[in-house]
Structure 1
Amino acid sequence: MKVTNVEKKENSTVELTIQVEPDAFEAAVQKAYLKARKNIAVPGFRKGKAPRKIIEGMYGTAVFYEEAINDVYPAAYEAAVKEQNLEDMGHPVMDIVEVNKEKGLIFTALVSVRPEVTLKAYKGLTAPKAEVNVTDEDIENELQPYIRRATRLVSVDREAHMGDTAVIDFEGFDDGKPFEGGKGEDYSLEIGSGSFVPGFEDQLIGLKAGDEKDLDITFPEDYVPDLAGKSVVFKVKVKEVKEPQAPEVDDEFAKDVSEFETLADFKKDLGEKLQQRRTAEAQNDFESAVLDQLIDNLEADIPDGMVETQLDKIMDEYAMRMSGQGMSMDDYLKMMGMTPEMLRTSAKPSALRQVKTQLALEAVAAAENMEVTEEECEAEVGKLAEQYKLTPDQVKAAVSVDALKQDLLLQKASKLVVDEAKVGEAPKKEEAAAEEKPKKTTRKKKTEEAAGEEQPAEEKPKRTRKKKTEESAEEPKAE
C-alpha cells in the first residue's frame, strides 16, 4: 500500500488517494478465485476444479475483482490513515479510481477528521430557571391516582350513564354475516373510555341489565382494510351495569394506600416529593438551556462522518432498549410504521447536538487543563460495580477505562459551565457576547474510545458516494 496524494477538503475532511500495488492485488484476486471456484460450474470440469483463466474467459477478467477489493481495501485504508497520522472519526467515503492488473487497485478515501474548534464564552452564561412551588390543588392532583386505584365498581339496578362500566355480550355483523374479531362475551366496557369503535359506547347510555339492542356502527376509513368505512350492526346484550364508587379520602384511606397514619402526613409527603421532582426538572431544564448556549458559542466544521458515527450509537441504543423490552428492532419499526432510514433521519438532529456538545465540553476541559485522576476513575468503577451488582474487575472488563475517563472529563467540564452560569434571561443569539478571549483547541490523537463511548474495533470503510448531510453543511466554518 502507498498513499499517492493527500488533499485537505472542506468540512474537516481529508482525501487520500491510495494504491494497492499490482502484486498485492493479484494475491487478493487469487484468494477470491480459490474461495469462489467451488460454487462455479464450468462444462468439461468437475465443480470447483475449473482453472481461473477459464472462468475469467467466460465471465471477464474482472469477475473476482469485487471480492478482492472488499478483501484488501479495509486494511489499506487503515494503514493509510495511520501513516498520515489522521484521527479518523468514522464513515469514510470510498471511490474506486482504477483497478486492473497493471496498476492494481487505486481508490480515494474521504476521511472525516476531528475538526478544529473555536469556543467563545463558556463562563457566565445565562438561562431562565423556573420557580418551583406546590399548591394545594397540585397535591390534590397527586392524590387522584391513589383514589382511582382504590375506586371500586359496584353493580347498580339502573340505566347506564357516562362513566359507568357495562358488562356486555356483543357480536358484529357485516351484511348479516358475523365477521372475525367482532364477538365478545362478559366484556367489561367503560362508557366514555374511547376503547371501542366511535359510536359504540354512546349507544349503551340508557340501557340497563337485561336490555338488548342493535347498534348501527360505521367503521373509520383508516380502520383495518376488511372493515374500513363499512356500516355494520353490533347485536349487544347488557348483562350488568356498574358504577365507580370512590373511597372516602380520610385517615383510613391514607393508611390503606400509603405508609402514613394520617391523611395530613400523606399529603405532606406527596407535596415534598412533588417539590423535589419539580426542582430536579427545573434544574435539568436550566442545565440544558445553558448547554444550548455553549453550543451556540461553538464554531467548528463538523464532518458528516462524525455525525453518522454518533447516529450509529443512537441506533444501537434504540435496539438495546427494544431488546430490553422483549421486542426486536424490526418489530418496533413495523409497529411505528417506520423504516430504519426514517428512524435514522429523525434521530439526526439529536446526533448533531450530541456531537456539538461533546466538542464544546472537550474544548472547555482543554482550556481549563482538566484531568481525571486514577482515584476518580476507580471511584466511578466502584459506583458502577455497586449499581449493577458486579465486581470492579467485571466492570473494567465490560467498560473501556479510557471511555470512562472521557465521560468523567466531560462531566467535569459540564459541571464547571453550569456552576459558572447565572439565572436570567437567555441572550439573543445575535447579541450573545464573548466575555473571554476565544480559545482555539485541537485534540491530540484520541484512543478508539475517546468519544465517550466505545467505538467499533474494526469498522470497515464503506464504499459510498460523497453526500453532505443538511445539518453539517450548515455548520459555520472555524476561523
Structure 2
Amino acid sequence: MKSTVEQLSPTRVRINVEVPFDELKPSFDSVYRKLAQQVNIPGFRPGKAPARLLEGRIGRAAVLSEVVNDVVPTKYLEAVQNDEVATIGRPDIEVTKVEDGEPVEFTAEVDVRPELTLPAYGEIAVTVDPAPVTEEQVDSELDQLRARFGTLSTVERAIENGDFVSIDLSATVDGTKVDEATTTGLSYEVGSGELIEGIDEALIGTESGGTTHFTTKLVAGEFVGKDADVEVTVQSVKERELPEADDEFASMASEFDTIDELRESLRERVGRMNTMQQAVDARDKVLEALLDTVEVPLPQAVVDAEVEQRQHDAVHPFDHDEDQFNAYLETQGQTREEFDAEAKAEAEKAVKQQLILDAIAEQEQVSVEQNELTERIIYQAQRFGISPDEYVKRAQESGQFGAIFADVRRGKALSNVVRQATVTDTEGAKIDLEELFGEAKDAAEAETAEVEKAEEPEEKAEGQE
C-alpha cells in the first residue's frame, strides 16, 4: 500500500491511498464467505457455494464493490498510522478508482491537530486571592454541623426565612390547570430558592392554614414562557432548633471532647478548602493565560460538531421542542440568536483548550496510569449515582471511553504546567503549588471532594421531623 499526505490547511489534510489489487485477497475471501451464507444456490449447502458461482449470480462488479467497502476503512487507519497523522474527527472518504485487477485508489480528507508554539511554562505568572481562615468561615462550618443534628418543631406564627413548611401547590395559565405544577404535602425550606421563582416572597408572612397567591413565569413544560397564577396553601410551619455549640455537642457530633477542639478541626478543614480553592483559581488562570498566548487555528468541522452537541444538550430537556426551548430562553432574557452565538463562542474556546492541552501532553509525554483512569471512573460514577461497572458499560456503548482517557491526560498536562508557573497571591506571597496539588489528583477533583464534604451537614433536618 502507498499513501501520501497533502496539507490543505493548518488543521486539515488529504490522505491519498493506493492499494495494490493483490492486497485485496483477504477482503475478497471475507466477502465470498459472507455472500455464501446469504445467497442460495441450488445444489450447494449454505456457505459452500464456490466464488465463481457467487459472482455469476450477483455479478463481479457487486463483489468488487463489497470488497472496496470492506477494505477502505482498514487501509485508511493503516495510512494514518504509517504517516503518523494526528487526526481528529471523522474523515470524508472518496473512492477515486475501482477497476478489476487494478489498484484501488481513494482519498480521505480529515481534520488534524495543528502544530502549536507553546510558551515556556516557567514564564507564566498569575495572581490569586489570599486564603486566610476567618472566624466567620469557622462559624459557618459549625452551624452547618449543628444543622445536621437539629430538630424541627412546629410553630404557631407567620412563616420566616429558613422555616420548613408543608404546602399544597397548584397553578393555572389562562384558567387551564398546569399538571406539572400541582402537588400536595410538599416539604420546602423557605428561602432555599429551590422551587419556582416568587414562592419565597409569597410564603414569608403567611401562617399555617393560610393561602397565598402569586404570579410566576414558567420555565419548563407545556406552558413554558407563560405567566402562571400560583396558589399555595400552607399545611404546617416548622422551625429548626440547633443544639448548643458546647462540649456536649462536640462529643456527640465528633471525635472531640470539647467545642474548642472541634472548632480547631473545622478551622483546619476550612484552611484546606481555602488553599484548594487557591489551586483551582491558579489552574483556571494558568489555563486562561495559555488560551490568551497560544495561537490556535481551529478545525471548523470539530467546532461545528461541538456547537451541535451543545445545542442538542440544551434542547433535550424540552423533548427537542424548539418552540418550548425558545420560549424558555425568553424567560431568561435571551434570544435564540444570542444563545447560538454564545454556544459557538463556548465551543471554540473548548476546542482551543483541548488542542492546547493535547499539545502539552504530547510535549511533556504525559501518560495515564490504570489507577488514575480507575479513580476518574469511580468519581464520575458517584456523580451520576451508578456503579463503576455500569458507568464503564455506558461509556463503551456511547463511544466515550476514549474521551475519559483524554480528559484525565489533559488534566495531568495542565497540572504539570501549573506546577511550573509562578503563582503569587495579591499580597505578594508565593503559593506552594506542589503542596496544593499533591501527587495523586488534580485540583479540580480535589476541590469537588472538599465541597461535597462541606455540604454533608446540609442534609435537611426534615428527616428528623
- Distance, in Å, in 2 between the alignment partners of 1:153 and 1:336 is 37
Match of 1:253 in 2: 249
- Output one character per residue of 1:302-328: Cα deviation in whole Å (capped at 9) or x when no partner: 8789x79xx9xxx9xxxxxxxxxxxxx
- Distance, in Å, in 2 between the alignment partners of 1:413 and 1:21 is 45
SS at match of 2:166: strand
Is it true that 1:86 corresponds to 2:84 in the alignment?
yes
Match of 1:356 in 2: 356
- 1:183-332 pair list within 5 angstroms: 184-198=183-197, 208-209=207-208, 211=209, 213=211, 216=213, 220-225=217-222, 229=226, 234=231, 236=233, 238-287=234-283, 289-290=285-286, 293=289
Shift of 1:71: 0.7
- Output one character per residue of 1:413-446: Cα deviation in whole Å (capped at 9) or x when no partner: 9658734736489xxxxxxxxxxxxxxxxxxxxx
- Output one character per residue of 1:208-242: Cα deviation in whole Å (capped at 9) or x when no partner: 45x465x5565634342169747667584x54332
SS at match of 1:240: strand
Match of 2:447 in 1: none
Match of 1:395 in 2: none
* Letter of the structure 2 residue corresponding to residue 220 of structure 1: K
Match of 2:156 in 1: 157
- Distance, in Å, in 1 between the alignment partners of 2:423 and 2:356 is 22
Is it true that 1:146 corresponds to 2:145 in the alignment?
yes
Residues 31 and 120 of structure 1, relative CA distance in 2, 3 Å threshold: closer
Verify the 8 A CA contact 1:18 1:107 in the aligned structure 2: yes
Verify the 8 A CA contact 2:88 2:113 in the aligned structure 1: no
Verify the 8 A CA contact 1:216 1:231 in the aligned structure 2: no
- Output one character per residue of 1:218-277: Cα deviation in whole Å (capped at 9) or x when no partner: 5634342169747667584x5433233333333333333333233332222222222222
Residues 261 and 219 of structure 1, relative CA distance in 2, 3 Å threshold: same
Match of 1:436 in 2: none
- Distance, in Å, in 1 between the alignment partners of 2:193 and 2:206 is 18
Task: Report 1 or 2 for greater relative contact order, CA contacts < 8 Å, sequence distance ≥ 6.
Answer: 1
SS at match of 1:123: helix
Residues 116 and 195 of structure 1, relative CA distance in 2, 3 Å threshold: closer
- Distance, in Å, in 1 between the alignment partners of 2:224 and 2:5 is 63
Shift of 1:107: 0.7
- Distance, in Å, in 2 between the alignment partners of 1:127 and 1:74 is 47
Residues 286 and 221 of structure 1, relative CA distance in 2, 3 Å threshold: closer
* Letter of the structure 2 residue corresponding to residue 280 of structure 1: M
Is it true that 1:72 corresponds to 2:64 in the alignment?
no
- Distance, in Å, in 1 between the alignment partners of 2:115 and 2:174 is 71
- Distance, in Å, in 2 between the alignment partners of 1:117 and 1:227 is 46
Shift of 1:344: 11
- Output one character per residue of 1:434-474: Cα deviation in whole Å (capped at 9) or x when no partner: xxxxxxxxxxxxxxxxxxxxxxxxxxxxxxxxxxxxxxxxx
Match of 2:98 in 1: 99
- Distance, in Å, in 2 between the alignment partners of 1:413 and 1:198 is 39
Match of 2:10 in 1: 11
- Distance, in Å, in 2 between the alignment partners of 1:170 and 1:382 is 49
* Letter of the structure 2 residue corresponding to residue 222 of structure 1: V
- Distance, in Å, in 1 between the alignment partners of 2:2 and 2:240 is 80
Shift of 1:72: 0.5
Verify the 8 A CA contact 2:357 2:414 in the aligned structure 1: no
- Output one character per residue of 1:50-74: Cα deviation in whole Å (capped at 9) or x when no partner: 9555545xxxx86566643331113
TM-score by length of 1: 0.55
- Distance, in Å, in 2 between the alignment partners of 1:192 and 1:296 is 40
Verify the 8 A CA contact 1:132 1:278 in the aligned structure 2: yes
Match of 1:445 in 2: none
- The gaps in structure 1 that reach 5 residues or longer are 316-329, 366-370, 390-397, 399-403, 426-479
- 1:359-398 pair list within 5 angstroms: 359-360=359-360, 362-363=362-363
* Letter of the structure 2 residue corresponding to residue 418 of structure 1: R
* Letter of the structure 1 residue corresponding to residue 97 of structure 2: E
Q: Percent identity?
A: 26
- Output one character per residue of 1:108-148: Cα deviation in whole Å (capped at 9) or x when no partner: 13466776564553434422243221222222233332233
- Output one character per residue of 1:356-378: Cα deviation in whole Å (capped at 9) or x when no partner: 2343465467xxxxx99xxxx9x
Residues 6 and 254 of structure 1, relative CA distance in 2, 3 Å threshold: closer
- Output one character per residue of 1:174-222: Cα deviation in whole Å (capped at 9) or x when no partner: 999987566655443444444554566655555545x465x55656343
- Distance, in Å, in 2 between the alignment partners of 1:235 and 1:271 is 42
SS at match of 2:236: strand
- 1:416-455 pair list within 5 angstroms: 418-419=419-420, 421=422, 423=424
* Letter of the structure 1 residue corresponding to residue 247 of structure 2: D
* Letter of the structure 2 residue corresponding to residue 352 of structure 1: K
Residues 135 and 162 of structure 1, relative CA distance in 2, 3 Å threshold: closer
* Letter of the structure 1 residue corresponding to residue 240 of structure 2: P
Shift of 1:153: 1.8
**What is the number of equivalent residue pairs in this alignment?**
366
Residues 423 and 117 of structure 1, relative CA distance in 2, 3 Å threshold: same
- Distance, in Å, in 2 between the alignment partners of 1:195 and 1:181 is 16
Verify the 8 A CA contact 1:20 1:104 in the aligned structure 2: yes
Verify the 8 A CA contact 2:92 2:110 in the aligned structure 1: yes
